[in-house]
Chain A
């Protein structure tokens, strides 16, 4: 059973913020949310993770709702190199369970 659901695709204009949603309504209290991206079938790359609080790093921000049933990954200023498949992941103990992914296309 899928632990996360994501829209299959999104477009974003270059330079604008990309907001990628994820639903994880069955998440347990001690399970983290992770975001990875995959470019051209390379190995997935880590972006960010969080448990309850919003998180920000040099790549992105992660906004988690108070009930923890959904989250949003924000790429503040999307570039063409951000075109990739973005995966929302729920971590159960040490295992990562990937969602179906959102294919983000950044448009010039």
Chain B
């Protein structure tokens, strides 16, 4: 298993600003993922972040809006840029475990944009 922490756990931000969310894992992992969960909705995959390469974004998500860093095998950041109220969501990071079958999720960052 993997233990994942995220910072901040929640934040309230003003329209037009940016927020960087941190994801820390207690072990080295190759693949990390970022998801968005809008209020009352399911999880939507934003991007896959591999160390040493650029993140791969899903349809509907772009690097200018959601830049991602992956400086090492235990850490990643997701920035939500130029925020609008529509960006209000829970943002979750996850990692693929050693068996390459199970994904472990962080507790999420609850973002509210006013």
Contact = CB atoms under 8 A, between A and B. Distances in A.
Interface string A37-62: 00001111110010000000000000
B42 A98 contact: yes
Interface of B: 4, 31, 33, 35, 37, 41-45, 48, 58, 90, 92, 94, 96, 100-108, 110
A98 B44 contact: yes
Given A41-B108, A42-B107, A43-B108, A96 B42 contact: no
Contact of B48 (A32, A87, A95): A95
12 contacts: A41-B110, A44-B43, A45-B105, A46-B102, A46-B103, A49-B101, A87-B42, A94-B48, A94-B96, A95-B33, A98-B44, A100-B42
Contacts of B101: 32, 49
Interface of A: 32, 36, 41-46, 49, 87, 94-101
Contacts of A95: 33, 45, 48, 58
- By secondary structure, the B interface counts as strand
Contacts of A43: 4, 92, 94, 104-108
A100 B110 CA distance: 20
Given A87-B42, A87-B43, A101-B42, A96 B103 contact: yes
Nearest to B96: A94
B100 to A, nearest CB: 8
A49 B33 CA distance: 19
Contacts of A94: 31, 48, 96, 100
Given A49-B101, A94-B31, A96-B103, A41 B90 contact: yes
A64 B54 CA distance: 36
Nearest to A85: B42
